[in-house]
């Protein structure tokens, strides 16, 4: 049925607009920037998929259209109609000869968009995180994060792992009692989960290979560039697995994720000005280093690390700088690690655990271990750590009904994204970061 009206030009996304070269199209987006040069206007539009520069020549367009565009304010939402033209020098390789523009919402002149192209301080940007996300850089980080998460899921799904979500409200601690968020749970107290691991162990006994992937919480008082109070962690767990299996899985996962981001997110890494040469060197196998060797290396490099203490951020940096790939440090003293770790049969004062340290000073991205599978030993450790017996009774039960050697690890998504994007601080790698000083917006 024809209305007699000319058909509306098709609505298209800026990314892929090249397929419509020479045609009239509509785009839906926001005014990103506007430049005026005599009788010419150069509005730049963004639509979430890309940027395109529009062109209006005063004598070629109706005066009221020219005026509408000339007075357009930054981040006003618009529907733009125009003809696509290849232009090698333009962002994205195309320009739009604007023939019409409809303003959907005009940002008022007296209350302009707060984030201008000039430099802003980090506190100001964090306070406006809900708007800051629109910047090219932040949008690129969001897309890399998306790719990392998708790659992680694909990796485990293709490798025979079954996703089993862990609860967020939990009756007990997993990673030490000093950084728990306590919440009222009706008549009881509950805690926001620090890790889904204990539940993943139960699921592994059901399906063999499992993973959980969700938000985890730590009341971290530390104000470092690597710590958030709410972060996302993926945690695989395998029945009938030892520390070597855990390390092999960890290195395969990381190599897979790096490769995926390099192949699918090259454009985003370019926006971020990330030097990709170091990332290209991330190939299997990754070096393995015992804790003993790590202490020696740190000290030889000028660090003050004492045998028997955990590696600090500086120690991790001193160590990871010595390798062009992530390095896996294994067999830490059991005393600095979690209660559930299996002791080394040769030297029981050591835990069968591993931390993976990313290169370029990004520090620990993975922590994992083989778990205690012996009933008495686990009960003893729970008592030594003064953990509430009742809250852990179900976890102990797993050692009563067909206990088997098993293990797994946790990988923090934000730390991986920070490393791959080459951003200094993890606060830029999650849409709305939570830190000791920030729960807004």
Instruction: CB nearer to ligand 4AD: give 84 or 212.
Output: 212
Task: Determine the interface stretch with ligand 4AD among 9-17, 40-48, 129-137, 408-416 (rule: CB under 6 A).
Answer: 408-416
Task: Determine the interface stretch with ligand 4AD among 2-10, 47-55, 364-372, 417-425 (rule: CB under 6 A).
Answer: 364-372
- CA distances (Å), 342 to each of 241, 311, 350, 353, 392, in order? 12, 20, 9, 8, 17
Q: Which positions from 216 to 255 touch ligand 4AD by CB under 6 A, shown as an x/- string?
A: --x-x------xx--x-x-x--------------------
Cβ-based neighbours of 24, under 8 Å, separated by 6 or more: 9, 81, 82, 83, 99
Which one of ligand 4AD, Mg ion, none is in contact with 197 (Cβ closer than 5 to 8 A by kind)?
Answer: ligand 4AD
Task: Determine the interface stretch with ligand 4AD among 70-78, 283-291, 358-366, 381-389 (rule: CB under 6 A).
Answer: 358-366
What would the two tokens of residue 241 be? 């697995």
Q: Is the dihedral of CA 180, 182, 188, 190 positive or negative?
A: negative
User: Tokens 């040469």 appear where?
Assistant: 277
242 and 407 in contact (C-beta within 8 Å)? Answer: yes
Instruction: CB nearer to Mg ion: give 209 or 226.
Output: 226
User: d(Cα 50, Cα 34) in Å, to the nearest integer?
Assistant: 16
Candidates 4, 100, 84; CA nearest to 50 is 84
Taking the complex as a whole, the smallest distance from the CB of residue 42 to ligand 4AD amounts, in Å, to 42
Go through 342-366 and write b for each residue having 16 or more CB atoms within 10 A of its CB, e for each that does not: bbbeeeeebbbbbbbbbbebbbbbb
Instruction: CB nearer to ligand 4AD: give 69 or 243.
Output: 243
Among 9, 29, 82, 412, binds ligand 4AD (CB under 6 A): 412
Instruction: CB nearer to ligand 4AD: give 101 or 249.
Output: 249
Taking the complex as a whole, the smallest distance from the CB of residue 346 to ligand 4AD amounts, in Å, to 22
Among 27, 52, 55, 174, binds ligand 4AD (CB under 6 A): 174
User: d(Cα 184, Cα 250) in Å, to the nearest integer?
Assistant: 36
Which one of ligand 4AD, Mg ion, none is in contact with 414 (Cβ closer than 5 to 8 A by kind)?
Answer: ligand 4AD
Interface with ligand 4AD includes 366 (CB under 6 A)? yes
Binding site for Mg ion (CB under 5 A): 367
Which one of Mg ion, ligand 4AD, none is in contact with 220 (Cβ closer than 5 to 8 A by kind)?
Answer: ligand 4AD
352 and 367 in contact (C-beta within 8 Å)? Answer: no
Count of residues that interact with ligand 4AD, criterion CB under 6 A: 24
What would the two tokens of residue 355 be? 């931390």
Backbone angles phi, psi at 68, to 5 degrees: -60, -45
Interface with ligand 4AD includes 365 (CB under 6 A)? yes
Helices (H) and strands (E) in the chain, counts: 13, 16
Taking the complex as a whole, the smallest distance from the CB of residue 369 to Mg ion amounts, in Å, to 10
User: d(Cα 122, Cα 171) in Å, to the nearest integer?
Assistant: 37
Taking the complex as a whole, the smallest distance from the CB of residue 201 to ligand 4AD amounts, in Å, to 9
Q: Is the dihedral of CA 148, 330, 194, 312 positive or negative?
A: negative
CB atoms within 10 A of CB 146: 14
User: d(Cα 160, Cα 150) in Å, to the nearest integer?
Assistant: 16
Q: Which positions from 291 to 330 touch ligand 4AD by CB under 6 A, shown as an x/- string?
A: ----------------------------------------
Among 251, 316, 364, 428, binds ligand 4AD (CB under 6 A): 364
Task: Determine the interface stretch with ligand 4AD among 27-35, 52-60, 402-410, 417-425 (rule: CB under 6 A).
Answer: 402-410
Taking the complex as a whole, the smallest distance from the CB of residue 220 to ligand 4AD amounts, in Å, to 5
User: d(Cα 314, Cα 189) in Å, to the nearest integer?
Assistant: 37
Q: What is Dmax (Cα atoms) for the chain?
A: 87
Task: Determine the interface stretch with ligand 4AD among 157-165, 313-321, 361-369, 388-396 (rule: CB under 6 A).
Answer: 361-369
For the sheet containing 353-358, what is the strand order?
Answer: 162-163, 209-217, 230-239, 406-412, 363-370, 353-358, 327-330, 288-290
Taking the complex as a whole, the smallest distance from the CB of residue 187 to ligand 4AD amounts, in Å, to 28
Interface with ligand 4AD includes 43 (CB under 6 A)? no
Taking the complex as a whole, the smallest distance from the CB of residue 407 to ligand 4AD amounts, in Å, to 8
Binding site for ligand 4AD (CB under 6 A): 174-175, 195, 197, 218, 220, 227-228, 231, 233, 235, 364-368, 408-412, 414-415, 426
């Amino acid at each position: 049925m024809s209305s007699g009206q000319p058909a509306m030009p098709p609505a298209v996304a800026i990314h892929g607009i090249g397929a419509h070269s020479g045609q009239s199209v509509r785009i839906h987006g926001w005014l990103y920037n506007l430049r005026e040069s005599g009788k010419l206007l150069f509005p730049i539009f963004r639509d979430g998929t890309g940027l395109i520069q529009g062109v209006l020549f005063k004598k070629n367009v109706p005066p009221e259209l020219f005026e509408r565009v000339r007075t357009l304010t930054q981040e006003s939402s618009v529907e733009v109609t125009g003809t696509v033209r290849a232009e090698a020098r333009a962002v994205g390789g195309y320009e739009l000869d604007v023939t019409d523009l409809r303003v959907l919402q005009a940002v008022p002149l007296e209350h302009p968009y707060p984030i201008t192209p000039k430099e802003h301080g980090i506190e100001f940007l964090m306070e406006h995180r809900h708007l800051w996300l629109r910047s090219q850089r932040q949008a690129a980080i969001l897309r890399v994060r998306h790719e990392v998460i998708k790659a992680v899921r694909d990796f485990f799904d293709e490798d025979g792992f079954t996703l089993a979500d862990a609860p967020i409200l939990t009756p007990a601690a997993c990673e030490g009692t000093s950084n728990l968020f306590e919440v009222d749970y009706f008549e009881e107290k509950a805690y926001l989960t620090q890790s889904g691991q204990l539940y993943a162990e139960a699921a592994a006994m059901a399906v063999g290979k499992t993973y959980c992937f969700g938000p985890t919480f730590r009341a971290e008082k530390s104000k470092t560039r690597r710590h958030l109070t709410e972060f996302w962690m993926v945690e695989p767990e395998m029945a009938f697995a030892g520390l070597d299996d855990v390390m092999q899985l960890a290195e395969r996962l990381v190599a897979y994720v790096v490769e995926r981001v390099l192949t699918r997110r090259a454009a985003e890494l370019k926006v971020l000005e990330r030097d990709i040469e170091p990332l290209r060197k991330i190939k299997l196998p990754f070096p393995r280093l015992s804790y003993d060797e790590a202490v020696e290396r740190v000290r030889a490099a000028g660090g003050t690390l004492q045998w028997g203490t955990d590696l600090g951020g500086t120690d991790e940096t001193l160590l990871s700088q010595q390798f062009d790939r992530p390095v896996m440090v294994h067999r830490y003293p059991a005393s600095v690690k979690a209660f559930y770790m299996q002791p080394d049969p040769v030297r029981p004062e050591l835990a069968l655990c591993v931390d993976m340290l990313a290169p370029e000073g990004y520090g620990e991205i993975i922590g994992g271990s083989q778990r205690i599978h012996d009933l008495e030993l686990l009960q003893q450790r729970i008592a030594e750590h003064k953990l509430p017996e009742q809250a852990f009774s179900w976890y102990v039960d797993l050692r009563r009904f067909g206990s088997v050697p098993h293990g797994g690890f946790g990988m923090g998504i934000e730390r991986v994204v920070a490393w791959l994007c080459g951003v200094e601080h993890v606060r830029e790698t999650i849409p709305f970061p939570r830190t000791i000083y920030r729960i807004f917006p």
